[in-house]
Homo-oligomer: A and B are copies of this chain.
Amino acid sequence: VGESGTKDAILESARSRFAEYGYDGASIRGIAADAGVDPALVHHFFGTKEKLLVAAMRLPAVPSELLQDVVGSSTDRLSEMIVRTALGLWEVGARDTALALLRWAVTNEGAARMLREFLADTILRLVASVAEPTDAELRASLVASQIVGLGITRFILRIEPIASASVDQLAQAIGPTIQRYLTGNLREQSSNHSSIGIDWYGSEE
């Protein structure tokens, strides 16, 4: 087999190992052994384990690199940038990949574990690093919950009007949610929200 045949064999082994052992448990060494090649060749072709998974899953970008750019940009609008980046990724053909990943994750517990560990090791860790240190991991997972839900309602369920809203509109509507999850008070009592401009229900307490 030529170089492309070898690469395909490595990617195939990677998919099996990731699904069986999770992202943390799958080793480059094990993947190389399954493909019948030297681990150094895997590193040579694909670099890091993250990049190997990106290639194996045909993700449109390396999450940590992409997010590193976002995090490195103007922190003033970081929360809106996170929304915009996530929406942009989906738009550029990531929808099919995300659908395939999600399909896999909802039908295969091993795949769900792989996705969970991958998200934790790459995206969530980076998001936690820009969150307020208290409850940083909870903050990162709350951000993930809103971004994942946005993707699914807009692109898979296609619930209106979120499905056809402009990126600007969604960035404005959802940016403050991300911002609050990153740096706001997560333990406030609902009866005295500082965030509500309109006291629409009146105070009945």
Contact = CB atoms under 8 A, between A and B. Distances in A.
A142 interface: yes
Interface string A184-205: 1111111101111110110111
Contact of A161 (B75, B138, B146): B138
B183 A198 contact: yes
Contacts of A159: 116, 119-120, 124, 141, 144-145
Interface stretch (A39-47, A59-67, A99-107): A99-107
B145 A153 contact: yes
B124 A138 contact: no
What is the copy number of this chain in the assembly? 2
Contact of A191 (B76, B99, B193, B195): B76
Interface string A82-104: 00000000000000000100110
A153 B148 contact: yes
A194 B191 contact: no
A173 interface: yes
A177 to B, nearest CB: 5
Given A176-B188, A195-B194, A102 B106 contact: yes
- Most-contacted residue by chain B among A146, A147, A153, A203 (CB, 10 A): A153
Nearest 3 CB-CB pairings of A with B: A149-B149, A195-B195, A141-B162
Q: Which label, helix, strand, loop or mixed, suits the secondary structure of the A interface? A: helix
Given A180-B176, A197-B185, A137 B156 contact: no
26 contacts: A76-B191, A103-B106, A106-B156, A116-B158, A119-B157, A124-B159, A137-B161, A138-B161, A138-B173, A141-B159, A141-B160, A142-B162, A142-B174, A144-B149, A145-B146, A145-B150, A145-B174, A146-B146, A146-B149, A171-B190, A172-B187, A175-B190, A176-B188, A183-B200, A184-B197, A185-B198
